[in-house]
Amino acid sequence: MKLTSIENNIAEDRKHPFLLVKGKNNTGKSTIAACRSIFLKNNYCISSSDKILIINNSKQSLNKFNNIYSSIYDDANFKYSTLLAPEKDVIEISTLDDVMDRYLPSNLKLVDEKETNSILKSCIDDLKKLYPNIKVLNDTYIEFLKDEIQWIKSCGYNNLDVYQNIARTGRNLLKKHVNVRLNKNSNMRKCIFELMLMYNDKLNRQRQFDTVEKIKAAIKNSRKSSLKKYTHIIVDGIENLTKLHVDFINSIRKNSEYSTTLFTYNSDLIENSTSWFINKKNIRLVSETKIKSYTLKNSYKNENTTIPLNSLEKFTYKDIKHKTSFEFIRDNYDTSKIILTGNSANIEYGENEIEKIPIFNEIAAGEPILINSQIEDKFYLPRYWVKDAKNCFILKIKGDSMINADINDGDCVVIKKTGAAENRDIVAVNIDGSATLKRLKMDKDGIAFMPENELYSPIKVTEDEQVMLIGIAVGVLKSN
């Protein structure tokens, strides 16, 4: 284990109760957080009740952190060893959801997605009479409305005037609901705010809790003296947390004269549209307290060096145009690492040779289904495999209508965005708001989209239908 001078200064910081470490992927944030937890254990757990909590935002990030923690523990424990070091381990590593569950009342009844949609649809029907000209008051925009209501509640905006004047452009960074503009001081904002109030009222009457109310309940319960408080808290990855999440974390912090909190933050990894940190120039984590902030810029080569064997995933990439294929593996803990296998074994692509391609939820290889515009994940591919990779995206395939083209249910298809296609191209198309993947056929009889499975019928385009080309399939990703 070897830290640079600035990394070591952060790990051993003795002056600041609140630290914020910013930086892109693989700049050492998690390694520093792991080292600091061991430093605090050996130097600032003085009382027998002193505990350290390390919070991760998901099971995947928890596994990644545990791997880093295990790999550096012996060296760090020796380096930071003191006479004050406690005999028993005082460090807990957990996900945020698991921590919150400890602070929830036993009789909490969480509303599920089906019930949430039902309540919202009922509220929408009531509001249509008052706002007949508001276009988002229909079932098509229910995901947008849910996101916006959760964001308002998570930020604690209980006053319409505040919501009317707050900037709300950051959500477009995730390319969600890009066709919906929420102008300040607009009827649309007023309508959405009233929808939120009606939704909350119906939840309360049914004595149910959604995810936001769950966090509020955990915050309220955390004030009970019988529940555990932590002397030191480390949050590895705050970028997708809401304001209420941060409030909860601060509520379980023990206020001793040597208590500390460290947050790590990566703006490139924001994937939650209700995140408190979308489009935020100033990250405010605690009130009336100055936070010491560090920004890491250099890649930290030692992060994630110890990788379990079962973290390796095998894939095949098929280039449709050139009819070639590549077998490769990637590391589930560092998905940007691509290593060729087969005839080109042990060739590894570096950072400058790969491109991050967004993955969207689903497209039908069967009957057309509604398009879901939400980015679900990302996949790194070598740049020379995919020409013009910056204009490409990946769609998951649902259905079996393209099996004769070796595109199966569960495969991922790389789509190049374009406004033109040639006869016999495999294309992703939007037909009257629904998406499908088919082979394009153009002849004297007109345009049709052909399946590659005799169990399905061609989709013939009529003059009444609105058809938009989403893109051309250029490659297929198969998990082996």
Q: Which residues are catalytic?
A: 401, 438
From CA 273, how far away is CA 286, in angstroms rounded?
Answer: 21
Q: How far is CA 247 from CA 148, 242, 276, in A?
A: 20, 9, 11
Q: What type of residue sits at position 8? A: N
Tell me the two tokens of residue 84: 């004050």
For residue 321, the SS3 value is coil
Q: How far is CA 231 from the centre of its chain?
A: 29
Inter-residue contact 53 to 252 (CB < 8 Å): yes
Instruction: Provide the β-strand partners of residue 314.
Output: 329
3 state SS of 431: strand
Tokens of 325: 């294929």
For strand 392-398 and strand 354-364, is the pairing parallel, antiparallel, or unpaired? parallel
Token pair in block for residue 93: 């590593």
Extract the runs of DSSP E, i.e. beta strands, from 66-107.
91-95
Handedness of CA 369, 373, 376, 377 (dihedral sign): positive
Strand (E) or helix (H) holding 216 = helix 211-222
Element containing residue 52 per DSSP (H, E): strand 52-56
How many residues does the structure list for the chain?
480
Distance CA(407)–CA(401), nearest Å, equals 8
DSSP code per residue over 127-166: HHTT-TT-TT-SGGGHHHHHHHHHHHHHHT--SHHHHHHS
